[in-house]
Amino acid sequence: MKQLLRKKTILLVTLLMLLTGCVRYDVGVNFLSQQGGAIVQHIKLGKQLTSLNQLEGNQLLNSLENRTVKLKGKMERVSPEEVVVTIPFNNGKELVAKFEEFFNPNQENRAVGDAIDLLKLTAQISLRQSNLLLVERDRLSLIVDLRPLGLLSKQGNLIVSSGSLIDVAFVLNTPWKAKNVVNENNLIPEVSEENNQLVWQLKPGQINSIEAVFWVPSPLGWGTLVILLLILLGFRLKYQRFPWTSESLETF
């Protein structure tokens, strides 16, 4: 009996080692300007998965493509096992709506046997925006439930983590430097100041909390400021004074 149990344990460990890194899933939000940006996802299936279960691998990529098309995005197949999904958004409200629809689709919009559900990703995003004329202050919050990716004991302890089967990361790119909001529940990101990028490596078997604050320049605000300065400069050149002065400036 002990030998049988030992063999099963060795077999389980061997399978986990063979399947290590089956799926690499990077989810990113790129803010290009106040006018919007794109949700970018980079998915790479490990050779172990594509060779051991090619059918499920293809179903997963097809499911990703179906959801992408519904949200007016595009999917580029870098290789048979690697794709890049790009879903554009025009404002913060559209970002939240498309992000929620992609990861938490309504039952009416969910295809029967949707293979993307194999990833067991549940995500909720919120974005609070404050317009300050020349700039916009954004506060992004994200909660990702990866508890289905862990095998728990009856006591609730994490026994086996399927983090070896899927690596999930969230990437935030902003025009200006973003700041991570620290609290007892959220993750600490890797910071790339050169690219104005924050990268959070999510933990399987847990609820991951992410929160960040960043600033986005307002094209409308800066455009209005430039027009106002040009008007003042033209007035100064023509009348040798500014509108708020009552007399012409003396010339020497």
Q: Decide: 36 and 99 in contact? Cβ < 8 Å.
A: no
**At 165, is the pLDDT very low, low, confident or very high (cuts 50, 70, 90)?**
low
Q: Decide: 65 and 58 in contact? Cβ < 8 Å.
A: no
pLDDT of residue 159: 39
Residues 212-245 pLDDT 10s: 999 988 766 666 778 888 888 888 887 888 778 7
User: What are the percentages of helix, strand and coil residues in the chain, rounded to 5?
Assistant: 35, 35, 30
Task: Record the tokens describing residue 105, joined without a space.
Answer: 């689709």
Query: Which of residues 60 and 199 earns the better pLDDT score?
Result: 199
Query: Which of residues 136 and 14 earns the better pLDDT score?
Result: 136
11/5 Cα distance (integer angstroms): 10
| Phi, psi dihedrals of residue 39, rounded to the nearest 5° | -90, 120
Task: Record the tokens describing residue 151, joined without a space.
Answer: 């095998």
* Closest C-alpha to 209, from 127, 148, 149, 142: 142
**At 38, is the pLDDT very low, low, confident or very high (cuts 50, 70, 90)?**
very high
Of 27-31, 59-63, 107-111, the poorest mean pLDDT is in 107-111
pLDDT at 9 over 60: no
pLDDT of residue 164: 53
pLDDT of residue 209: 92
pLDDT of residue 119: 57
Q: Are strands 207-217 and 135-145 parallel, antiparallel or unpaired?
A: antiparallel
% the chain with pLDDT above 70: 69
Q: Look at residue 58 and give its three-state secondary structure.
A: helix
